[in-house]
A and B are shown apart, each in its own frame.
Chain A
């Protein structure tokens, strides 16, 4: 980076907003996946949208790569810095600009924390439905980039189902407004194109989010099973019975133990698996459904069933699930979180395969996942001060991804391709598909500066 680039950066923002000291860069070296780390040339912390726009324009002018960063909780190396470029930290753009209760939408800046949207709208009986486990910390900008999901997305849909419009600055500095204030729009679905683009199409500055009414009531239960397979089968039986819970989550014994060692959610530590099922809707309706659900649960071999009788008990059940990833840190110094999806009918056999892979490599795998939509989260637990084990863990993780592809699934359900799953893109997509995606990316980002080393390995040139 030439001196003049940094100087020009400091013309846009104050000197304090540009971090270049070693001690200032280190905290930005990784996101939630510490297996990757890199120090950027600088981190810039804009206070307002106009500053972001000018920074992106400057980067374009100088062909300096940039990586957008929200809260840095990505689990795929998505916000890993580029050594040749800068990180644009967006956490200070955190205003909720408009809450339209009548039309049920919120206009927020990209650095607003997911949960804060629901907090702000709850007085009006509304909330923002997508609820990643990281909802207390991750930003809407990050959610948009990854099309993040959460436990309750089984019924409500992922981020893409809740983003109505986006104001973005494209990598060449153009500011665009796509979508609008309602779900109906004319012409191509540009919002759909932007959501999930992992920062490759520029920076979302302002996002219009759909708010949905809080359900009248919830019924939540926690069922313990002797084995993962029985829990997996229960999920199929629930769907077959025509019920549509808002969430169905499974955790295996290893995860249960980690959770109990930290957040104490009251899960039975002797269970082979626990299944959380939640129903929501009008109270009369869910009471009926709940009866039916309990019957299925008992018939499916659950040996211990607790249902939440009030909001506190419900929160406790969820506290364990939402804290599960973090809790794994208690039982392992490092882990790789995989995020593959398999068709729901294959859940049981996919889990069995993961088990045997784990045995083959002699490495523990803790499973905690969105069972309702077949989105697995196998966590490969290892000690990464041991080089050999790290290699083995990576091999094991990659075999799990391959298995998902082989079974007709996909490599990522919600955590994104980022840095970590770039190498699997070719297994997932044909050369033709890859070419089309690269061509599109190059049109939007001619200088290849927007998070450009992510998702695709740039060693690949379209058509070759």
Chain B
């Protein structure tokens, strides 16, 4: 079976920097789960949000350069942890289905891309290709007692015609994974609400307000940790949590994990390998409490 779990891997720029722990934990759990990641040699930036705000041909060309590299690897599927990269790769594929647009994009490229590469999130292949039962069978340290809110962010599943995965309003993939790991997943009403995205630097006030609401909601439902699948969401909620507290007069102290880090912990992997020490809000207490027979 592990034969089939073989993918081209696109880490994305933030995976080499601000979300390095997402990349580390993704690689660590895939190695443990028998999922082979072949990093796309010499991949370049997908253009993220800024490129599509300037022009769609430019944006798709930046993505398509990478898809053309995947074609050369003779692999049919490329996966990435980052929803923003995924959106760009998928949107490029989707729009390049139209001949005229494809020709315009290929005019910008050294090596033209003619389609044929499927793109998915790491989350999607864990749920669909590997399966929850297989994941569950490898859990050695169930996340008993850990009460989490799973936050998907705005673009992991939307728009549905492009993303083609899970429910656009009420996604369950991470909820189901976390349940399989033994955690208690609380119903989180703001699963797909935007966190403020990439406005952290040019309009911090927006992030303070939108991410502030997410932290408030997580606290209201009694979550002791938030779980994300997006580097931007994670950064807004974790790195900026103190700023959010000062802006809103709040006192949140909620660790914000990547779901891959929690899979890693449940698989018994070393915290160091999962980049747990890279998180800003310390998850120490929350991790120490895992499995402790609850006093209640």
Please determine whether chains A and B interact with each other in the same assembly: no
